[in-house]
Structure 1
């Protein structure tokens, strides 16, 4: 699986926190109806890995990944749960090597040029720019485009529906990560139509690259 191709499948990749396992399947269906089929389920709750399996079963053509991967054992658990890719907030050599063992595509996070160069040396050309807003946002991504024209980014962190278009105008941005597509209040109310509308709005955003 080529991660650059995956990132280009939709302008926004939802960053999902599942606290109630019963929400996983209807959430996946709601996002899919709205045109979003690439999901990042964060490892921030006890049901996250079970949610990955439930979402894959509910929407078989979805590409479901696991986020907040920080250790090699997280990758092993992601593979066991059926995750199709992994996302990390940063990168270590151990994590990079572990990603090769189960052949699970990894989207590592970077914040600085030095971290970018290390990730590129380890074979990564699709990167998560995190935390995007705090790391310099659009200005930093524009500055990185010159010396690193072969790297594509998925900026994540502090991005909203209103600010996403400015990121998507950059030629080195394939998509953005956003938590606004799966708000906890809508999930708790079972407002799946509301989430579908958010997905439709996100899917309609234009990507420059």
Structure 2
């Protein structure tokens, strides 16, 4: 089975932290994306957890040329299609279903589904997906669990998300089967609501300075 994740790896590799964003007001999407890009984190995931999420994706895709905007919390093919139409360059889901696999097979936009059990990971691998979201990372066993998967499923790599923070990000990034981590700490809700783009840029710069070991 060909590796369908190569395009996604090319988009995200080299950026240690992918900001996971909840944007309640689409007017803030463009300055937020610009602040993160200035801080060294151009690839962002805007989650479909608010009514303004799709519009936020549309604005970033249309106005922030330096950004690589993706859509997260995609639960069904209709959301997949809407996110792609809005300009998403990659799609992230907390889990994996036959319907979402079909939607990804019919789309040129790469798919990063969540998987936490060996069975889910093997099913994704058989579908040609070799780069997966490990979610919720800390609750599912954390870095120790991922390290244990590295030998038996050596050709699958991960973006751990969920409970990842500055305190443990480097531990995840030190694993051979981790490409990057997803985190919300670089753009917390309170700073976004205050429109403190300067502080968000600082947090992004700190996060972009994290590097894989080995």
User: Which range, TM-score by smaller chain?
Assistant: over 0.9
Task: Flag structure 1 segments of 5+ consecutive residues without an equivalent.
Answer: none
1:79-158 matches, within 5 Å, as 79-158=84-163
- Structure 1 residue 9, shift from structure 2 partner: 3.0
Task: Flag structure 2 segments of 5+ consecutive residues without an equivalent.
Answer: 1-5
Q: What do you get for the CA RMSD once the two structures are aligned?
A: 1.1
Number of the residue aligned with 2:3: none
Match of 2:181 among 176, 185, 189: 176
- Structure 1 residue 148, shift from structure 2 partner: 1.1
- Structure 1 residue 190, shift from structure 2 partner: 1.5
Number of the residue aligned with 2:37: 32
TM-score where L is the length of structure 2? 0.95
TM-score where L is the length of structure 1? 0.97
Matches of 2:177 and 2:28 in 1, distance apart?
34
- Aligned to 1:2, the other structure's residue is in SS state helix
Number of the residue aligned with 2:22: 17
1:72-100 deviations in whole A, cap 9, x for unaligned? 11111011101111000110111101112
Query: Is 1:162 matched with 2:163?
Result: no
Matches of 1:85 and 1:30 in 2, distance apart?
20
Matches of 1:143 and 1:136 in 2, distance apart?
10
The answer to whether the 8 A contact 2:37-2:66 is kept is no
- Structure 1 residue 57, shift from structure 2 partner: 2.7
Matches of 2:39 and 2:111 in 1, distance apart?
26
Give the number of aligned pairs.
Answer: 209
Number of the residue aligned with 1:56: 61
Query: Is 1:185 matched with 2:196?
Result: no
Matches of 1:61 and 1:102 in 2, distance apart?
23
The answer to whether the 8 A contact 1:9-1:38 is kept is no
